[in-house]
Amino acid sequence: MKKLALALVCLVSVAFFASCNPEGVPTIQVLNQEGFVQDGDVVNLNEEVHFGFVMTSSLMSNKELATLVVKIDDDESLTETIDLTGYEYTYTGSITYTLRREEIVGTSVITAMVTDAAGQTATASITLSLNQPEQPLFVTPITWVRIGANNQNEEEMKGYGLQWTGTYKDPFATIKPIEGATMYVCDGTDCESIVTMSDKEAYFAKLAETGTPAESYRKIDANQSANYNDMLAVVYGENCTLIHITHAAIETITGVGTQITITGERK
C-alpha cells in the first residue's frame, strides 16, 4: 500500500578536522538551507521535497564517521545505508509523497543516524505534515439532444437526476428533476467561482438553506437557436451535480420535427 516516488542524492563527503562534539559522540543536525525542509514543516502531496543532514565527528574521540542510515517512516524500501570516511559529511535527498500514502498517514518522519568508528551514534529527524492540496473539479462537456419526441440522452440525464418532459410541440424545451431529485435553477455566472470540491459543497449547502427548489427548467426557446447562461444544481441521492447550460441549437427536420441540442458543461 505504501508507494512513494523516491530519489536520494548524496553529496560528496569531505574529510577534515572541524568543530566537534566535546562529549565524545558525533553530532548530526538537519540541514538548514533554503529549499530544504525543517522539522515541523507542512508539505504538499505530489510535490518534490528536499531534505538534508549535516554531521561531524567528535574531537574528543577523534574517530572518523563510519556509516549513515537514512530511513523514511521505517519503510525498508526507503532506507539507505552509506559507508563514510572522514570527519564531516553533508547528506541531501528528495522525496515525493503520493495520495495513496496520505490516505494512510498524515505525517512522515525522516530519520538519519550516524555512527563513528568507535560505535558511537547520533540521530536527527524531520517530522513533516502531509497536506493534500485541493484538486480542481473535473469539467465535462455535455450535449443533450431531443429530436421531435425522441430524447437521445435519457439515461445520462437520469444519472444526474434530470429528464426531458412535455411535448415536442411546446414552444419551450422543458427539463425536470426525476423522482427523488431536487433541482435548483441558478445563475450561470456562479459556475465560474465554483472550482474546487469545497466550493461545490459550500454552494450546495447554501442552496439547501436559502435556495428554492424548482419544479422545472423552461427557458430553452424551441423556435430559435440562442446562447444561455443558466445553471442547474441537482441533488440526487448522494450526488450533487452542476449543469451549466450555455447554448441551444434549434433545427427543423422535415418529417421528424424540431431538433433541440443543448450544450454546456458539467461539474
- 27-42 average pLDDT score: 97
CA distances from 35 to 26, 48, 50, 77, 92 (A): 26, 11, 7, 25, 11
CB 4 within 8 A of CB 106: no
The set of residues, in sequence order, having a beta carbon less than 8 Å from that of 87 and lying 6+ positions away, is 15, 16, 17, 18, 20, 56, 57, 64, 65
pLDDT tens sequence across 201-251: 999 999 999 999 999 999 999 999 999 999 999 999 999 999 999 999 999
How many C-beta atoms lie closer than 10 Å to residue 50's C-beta? 17
The set of residues, in sequence order, having a beta carbon less than 8 Å from that of 231 and lying 6+ positions away, is 185, 186, 187, 188, 190, 191, 242, 243, 244, 245
Alpha carbons 57 and 94: distance in angstroms, whole number: 25
pTM (2 d.p.): 0.56
Confidence (pLDDT) at 45: 87
**What φ, ψ does residue 207 adopt, rounded to 5°?**
-60, -40
Confidence (pLDDT) at 124: 98
* 150-151 vs 140-147, strand pairing mode: antiparallel
How many C-beta atoms lie closer than 10 Å to residue 198's C-beta? 11
Alpha carbon 253 to its chain's center: 46
Helix H or strand E encompassing 264: strand 257-266
* 48-56 vs 27-30, strand pairing mode: antiparallel
Is 80 exceeded by the pLDDT of residue 130? yes
Is 70 exceeded by the pLDDT of residue 16? no
Beta bridge partners of 147: 150, 259
Confidence (pLDDT) at 173: 86
Mind listing the domains of the chain with CATH numbers? 5-131 (2.60.40.10), 140-266 (no CATH)
Is 60 exceeded by the pLDDT of residue 64? yes
Alpha carbons 149 and 208: distance in angstroms, whole number: 34
Beta bridge partners of 146: 151, 260
- 123-136 average pLDDT score: 89
Alpha carbons 89 and 16: distance in angstroms, whole number: 10
Q: Report the chain's mean pLDDT, rounded to a whole number.
A: 87
User: What type of residue sits at position 153?
Assistant: N
